[in-house]
Structure 1
Amino acid sequence: MSVTTAPTAAEDRSAYRAVTIFPLLVLAAGALGYAFAGPISTQSGLITPLLGVIMFGMGLTLTLPDFRLVLTRPLPVVLGVAAQYAVMPLVGLGISLALGLPDEIAAGVILVGCVPGGTASNVVAYLARADTALSVTMTSVSTLLAPVLTPLLTLWLIGERLPVDGMGMATTIVQIVLIPVVGGLLVRTFLPGLVRRVLPALPWFSVLVICVVVAVVVSLSADQLLAAGLLVTVAVVLHNGLGLGLGYAVGRLTGLGERSARTMAIEVGMQNSGLASGLAATFFTPVAALPGAVFSVWHNLSGAMLAGWFRRRDARAARDAT
């Protein structure tokens, strides 16, 4: 999908299919993880390498010009990344306190807030007629900052509830995020022809890998899913909704314009929840990984609904102007 040309109807339909089918596939994967918890839970060792595969795929979608906005339009990038790492962690903490969440679930909710933006946000930004180039840059920059900011925020906000291996988390994020993303970017830079041939299949391959991760995460806490499921869902819906709303408010209050404000909403509200699940399962408990798994489903559904609402609002404005 090009960000420099006008979207076609075919591109719109393809993007809508991706953003609506993805959560359904993830939901199905979670159901499989619950139904076949015994055999699937034995594959817990796959979580970390699979997350690396996902992040390598993200790197393949990037090009060096995607970072050009850091130099040409630094203000919205800086504001967006700052909001990403300020709004979502603090909202996660606030929700945990307001709902009186148990320590393990609270750790998972807060960790979802401490990870970088999710790559699905770029598709939702496109559908919402936001600034897609800005969305890609914000996702990329927040991802590259994750090895430093995610462990620091986790230590600060979760350290009093549960022990946190900050250095171990930073090392893991370098291994499964930074190195694969940079590796994918280098492959895209030096082998562009090869990457162009695989790009059309890459989103669906990434979805498949994310589904495997979610199935394993759910299988590890299947025995506690029914007891904790409703509470986790309420926390996730609130977290995502407040992130979307506050992100949009930050964009408007700082005078960035409507398209940039939409981008801010989407980037702040949509998280790399697969990474959060993997880190929670590795450094906390399987129960702590549940908020990330539920977020993986919900933020894509809410993102699609928000994009549809923005498009309907644009249509009404166009009719009123004629």
Structure 2
Amino acid sequence: MLNEGEEKMSKVEKLGKVIGRWFTLLVVLWAAFNYVLPQTSLWLVPNVSYLLGIILFGMGLTLKLEDFERIAKKPLPVLAGTVAHYVIMPTLAWLLCLIFQLKGATAAGVILVGSCPSGTSSSVMAYLAGGDVALDVSIETLSTLLAPVALPGLLLLFAGEYVDIPTTSLFLSTVKIVLFPIILGVVLHSVFGRKIEKITHVLPLVSQVAILMIIGAVIAANHANLFTAATALVIPVVMLHNLSGYGLGYLFSKLIRLRDPQRKAITFEVGMQDSSLGATLAIKYFVPAAAIPSTIFSIWHNISGSVLASYWRDKATEQSQPVKPLGNIYSTDK
């Protein structure tokens, strides 16, 4: 029989599965609720970075040092995914600006979000979809480490005089928000081993709640500018940007003959951006209009990502193929 602690853990795990099944609907309802009553989540706005840290800390807890050692022995997927991200997304953003004839701050905002490193939510989506989380986090980490160089270079190439990025501040913020929580999680897993593994089953619930809180905060902070005449053209641009990123990311990973869990990871890593970082930089260094593409992207890519993650998870269940354990990223199993 289960003791009291194990019984509570089992209930939390079951709740996580229920929320996971209806997560897309919850995202839409929660977004609409916060649009109508933005004061509900305004208090979360200053704490978004902590919520991102919680998500990444949880992802770190699922990983072991051995996972990264295996990646180091076969670095091709990490390098390929990072290059694909920084080639596909900024180029798509630039092309969409040309096609839709976006100008000024709006165009700069689209290119800014397209030039950001991989989105922190991508790790959660890969986790929920049964993807290669270690590979996902590795690509996310590498793309973030490259951001101080990649961001200003891409913005100079595609956005010209519209953008000026403070690389030192960007580097320091990404280290604090992204790298530290992941490293802390990996270290704790390595030190405490099986004790940590007992709680990893509830991490999807923690991640889902954190994502909902982030969405609420983003909408609450920008609700007045989300659906106006000025943003009418930005919405389809953002949707096409994200969906095209998924499609090209998956096609690229298939062309280089990666396994299914790795394809899922690269799909999310290419198509999802650190839109919170984009919105923060736009608000701090440019006019408010430049933050609108990042704000819309933040809402949309969580909706589209949860739909895709749910589809892949349901497909695996229907085919009676159990998801491989997290970290088992270079198995010889077909």
**Alignment partner, residue 307 of structure 2:** 301
Tell me by how many angstroms 1:173 deviates.
0.7
Tell me by how many angstroms 1:149 deviates.
2.1
TM-score normalised according to structure 2 size: 0.73
**Alignment partner, residue 119 of structure 1:** 123
SS of corresponding position for 1:119: helix
Q: Which moved more, 1:62-71 or 1:266-275?
A: 266-275
**Alignment partner, residue 234 of structure 1:** 236
**Alignment partner, residue 212 of structure 2:** 211
AA in 2 matched with 1:150: A
**Alignment partner, residue 169 of structure 1:** 170
Q: Are 1:79 and 2:80 an aligned pair? A: yes
**Alignment partner, residue 190 of structure 2:** 189
Mark the CA change 1:123 to 1:75 in structure 2 (over 3 Å): closer, same or farther: same
* Separation in structure 1 between the aligned mates of residue 210 and residue 262 of structure 2, nearest angstrom: 31
How do 1:233-252 residues align onto structure 2 when only pairs under 5 Å count? 233-252=235-254
Aligned partners of 1:112 and 1:292 also within 8 Å: no
* Separation in structure 1 between the aligned mates of residue 203 and residue 217 of structure 2, nearest angstrom: 21
Tell me by how many angstroms 1:180 deviates.
1.1
* Separation in structure 1 between the aligned mates of residue 284 and residue 306 of structure 2, nearest angstrom: 24
Give the alignment partner of residue 142 of structure 2, picking from 145, 149, 153.
145
Aligned residues: 296
C-alpha RMSD of the superposition: 3.5
Identity of aligned residues (%): 28
TM-score normalised according to structure 1 size: 0.76
Aligned partners of 1:155 and 1:164 also within 8 Å: yes
Structure 1: runs of 5+ lacking an equivalent: 1-12, 127-131, 316-322
* Separation in structure 1 between the aligned mates of residue 192 and residue 260 of structure 2, nearest angstrom: 37
Q: Which moved more, 1:239-248 or 1:93-102?
A: 93-102
Mark the CA change 1:125 to 1:46 in structure 2 (over 3 Å): closer, same or farther: closer
Tell me by how many angstroms 1:48 deviates.
2.2
**Alignment partner, residue 320 of structure 1:** none
Mark the CA change 1:121 to 1:73 in structure 2 (over 3 Å): closer, same or farther: farther
Deviations 1:200-237 (A, max 9, x none): 22221122122222111111211111115643431232
Q: Which moved more, 1:274-283 or 1:248-257?
A: 274-283
* Separation in structure 2 between the aligned mates of residue 101 and residue 312 of structure 1, nearest angstrom: 43
Tell me by how many angstroms 1:174 deviates.
0.8
Aligned partners of 1:169 and 1:283 also within 8 Å: no
* Separation in structure 2 between the aligned mates of residue 65 and residue 50 of structure 1, nearest angstrom: 27
Structure 2: runs of 5+ lacking an equivalent: 1-13, 322-334
* Separation in structure 1 between the aligned mates of residue 30 and residue 211 of structure 2, nearest angstrom: 9
SS of corresponding position for 2:164: coil
Tell me by how many angstroms 1:176 deviates.
0.7
How do 1:1-322 residues align onto structure 2 when only pairs under 5 Å count? 21-38=22-39, 40-41=41-42, 43-101=44-102, 103-113=104-114, 114-116=116-118, 118-123=122-127, 125-126=129-130, 132=131, 135-158=132-155, 160=160, 161-227=162-228, 230-256=232-258, 261=263, 264-273=266-275, 285=288, 286-287=291-292, 288-305=294-311
Mark the CA change 1:281 to 1:198 in structure 2 (over 3 Å): closer, same or farther: farther
Aligned partners of 1:62 and 1:185 also within 8 Å: yes
